[in-house]
Amino acid sequence: MNCIIASTSTVHGSSYLGYFHDALTELFTGVKEIIFIPYARPGGISHKEYTKKAQEGLKFLNIDVVGLHEKENPKQAIENAQAIFTGGGNTFLLVSQLYKNDLMNNLSDKIKAGCAYLGTSAGSNICGKTMHTTNDMPIVHPPLFDTLGLFPFNINPHYLDPDPNSTHKGETRETRIKEFQQQHKIPVVGLREGSWIRIKDQDLVLKGDLNARVFIPQKEAIEVKPNHSFKNLS
Amino acid sequence: MNCIIASTSTVHGSSYLGYFHDALTELFTGVKEIIFIPYARPGGISHKEYTKKAQEGLKFLNIDVVGLHEKENPKQAIENAQAIFTGGGNTFLLVSQLYKNDLMNNLSDKIKAGCAYLGTSAGSNICGKTMHTTNDMPIVHPPLFDTLGLFPFNINPHYLDPDPNSTHKGETRETRIKEFQQQHKIPVVGLREGSWIRIKDQDLVLKGDLNARVFIPQKEAIEVKPNHSFKNLS
């Protein structure tokens, strides 16, 4: 495989996709067209508006970016794609739309066959076994929570450490992930904003400047450093 | 109806259910037994442990508290209940379990017929039309997101204002609720921790010291003060 699975599209103080230009340049080397999947609609913006945002963010690459919603036959478009980018937004909306258009299996097969893939936030969440560890609000009801299954664990993007000064009684991210693991014996990688996983052939490596937090069912969570390999995480 | 729909069971610095003892005393006047629904399992604790916690929190009332999981026939237990309390935790787990035990309609009918009801957090979330506006992680997949429909709007418990100093790129609560309202034309009441809605007969009134934030589809959100009536919100 050949993927970048990023926690977020934007970090504090950077432009959209601005913080990892070098990694994107490498990922999309030799590519002439990127299919953009705008289904997650952040803030409820339209597919058209969202595609425009992706085009602007990837302008530095000098590669055509085409919205999947513009394609008459989305399934065929995925099958013919040279590269694919799924943007963030609402994971429930994204997964519902992928199932509605019967694209989940095709997209998975295509990426497993080596098609260059960029995911940010919700677009990264769907790369794991399931979307059970999304942070999003369940604004629509997908028929299933199963996702692309590119690797045998789940992603928690925008991973947030507990705030020791918080007086708020909502659950911490760690509590939520542990509740998930009481239901499903699936490891979870909490990716902090600014981190990504670079998948190349058989290896999956943590990139960016920050540690990631790894949750294995029934064990204490551990911190792993940049360049850590998730190859054996299952 | 005769309900307290509370944002949270616990506010910073108070014990479990400690911040609104007077309101609970009034709600449960004349009641000899409260059925506790422990299905939301906060932090993954067992039904038994959670029921013990509820018993301790309600000890000051001198009323028996019995876990619904102890009843051989939960449907019958709901039908015979004199009062019901649904505790917080994970809304997905709670709703899944209510559907699994075929209790959603019975519980709704029972409360609409006047049975005293206390909900906190997830137990309040289920009182609206749907659970689409929960903050919880989707750790299990409920067959439907429809909930008790005691009133024609949704609750967002633990409502959080945007933090102007945050550098985190996850969506604010307001953004999430507005994304929901692009999909469903349902009003949402954001209940801050320490607030509750007192439903008595036909009226629904905001209680506690804080304002609530009301989201009506396609309008600017508004703040309403304690003692505001939600009677006409639909």
**Whole-angstrom distance, CA of residue A223 vs CA of residue A189:** 10
Chain B residues with CB-CB distance to A146 below 8 A: none
The answer to whether residue B76 is domain-embedded is yes
The answer to whether residue A116 is domain-embedded is yes
Q: Per DSSP, what are the bridge partners of residue A4?
A: A118, A198
Which residue in A10, A138, A182 is closest to B134 by CB distance?
Answer: A138
Residue ranges making up the domain that contains B47: 2-224
Q: Which amino acid is at B123?
A: G
The answer to whether residue B65 is domain-embedded is yes
- pLDDT of A184 above 90: yes
Question: How many domains does one find in chain B?
Answer: 1
The answer to whether residue A111 is domain-embedded is yes
pLDDT-derived band at B223 (thresholds 50, 70, 90) equals very high
Chain B residues with CB-CB distance to A41 below 8 A: 179, 182
- Could you give the percent of chain B with pLDDT greater than 70? 100
| Average pLDDT over every residue of A37-46 | 96
The answer to whether residue B33 is domain-embedded is yes
Q: What is the CATH number of the domain that holds B26?
A: 3.40.50.880
pLDDT-derived band at A203 (thresholds 50, 70, 90) equals very high
**CB-based contact, A217 to chain B, within 8 Å:** no
Which residue in B134, B158, B169 is closest to A193 by CB distance?
Answer: B169
| Average pLDDT over every residue of A108-131 | 98
Chain A residues with CB-CB distance to B176 below 8 A: 136-137, 139
Write down the residue that tokens 């049975």 correspond to.
Answer: B115
Catalytic residue selected from B7, B69, B132, B158: B158
**B13-69, pLDDT tens digit by residue?**
999 999 999 999 999 999 999 999 999 999 999 999 999 999 999 999 999 999 999
B132/A132 Cβ within 8 A: no
**B151-195, pLDDT tens digit by residue?**
999 999 999 998 888 888 888 999 999 999 999 999 999 999 999
- pLDDT score of A168: 87
Nearest CA in chain A to B173: A137
- pLDDT score of B80: 98
The answer to whether residue B40 is domain-embedded is yes
Determine whether B158 is an active site residue: yes
The answer to whether residue B89 is domain-embedded is yes
Q: Write the DSSP string, A122-184.
A: HHHHTTSSBSTT--S---S--S--B---SSSSEEE-S-----TT----SPPHHHHHHHHHHH-
**CB-based contact, A145 to chain B, within 8 Å:** yes
Nearest CA in chain A to B44: A179
- pLDDT score of A149: 98
- pLDDT of A131 above 90: yes
Q: What rounded mean pLDDT belongs to chain A?
A: 97
CA proximity to A200, closest of A12, A29, A10: A29
Structure token pair of residue B219: 């309008």
Half-sphere CA count of A164, side-chain side, radius 13 A: 0
| Average pLDDT over every residue of A150-177 | 93
Q: What rounded mean pLDDT belongs to chain B?
A: 97
- pLDDT score of A233: 97
Which residue in B12, B133, B160 is closest to A137 by CB distance?
Answer: B133
The answer to whether residue B234 is domain-embedded is no
